Amino acid sequence: MIGAQYEFLCGVYNTAVNGYDVNPSLSLGVSYMLETPHREIPKFSDWILLRGVFTATDRSAVFHIHNLQPGDIGNDFFLHNLTVRQLTNA
């Protein structure tokens, strides 16, 4: 609904186990309505919540999770509870 506020969130867990494994650096995005800052997901941590709130400016949107870390050793993670929730009406 155009003008309504929405929340986009997910839990992230870094599955790397070796000291030389790179950590993912993730952000959430929604078309041109949301781009959260990148957040490094450290090894040996608990689940980390990534969250962003945006106001809808269109009837449709593309949701994405962007990984800024280009490394291929490590950089492994689980995603859990991907959620899009309407917070307010227009």
- DSSP-assigned letters across all residues of 49-84: EEEEEEE--SS---EEEEE-----SB--EEEEEEEE
Contact 10, 86 (CB under 8 A): no
Rounded to the nearest angstrom, the gap between the alpha carbon of residue 62 and the centroid of all alpha carbons in its chain is 13
Handedness of CA 82, 62, 57, 36 (dihedral sign): positive
Measuring CA to CA, which residue among 78, 82, 69, 64 is closest to residue 24?
A: 69
pTM for this predicted structure: 0.89
What is the per-residue pLDDT for 72?
A: 76
Measuring CA to CA, which residue among 14, 53, 58 is closest to residue 36?
A: 53
For 21-57, what is each residue's pLDDT tens digit? 999 999 999 999 999 999 999 999 999 999 999 999 9
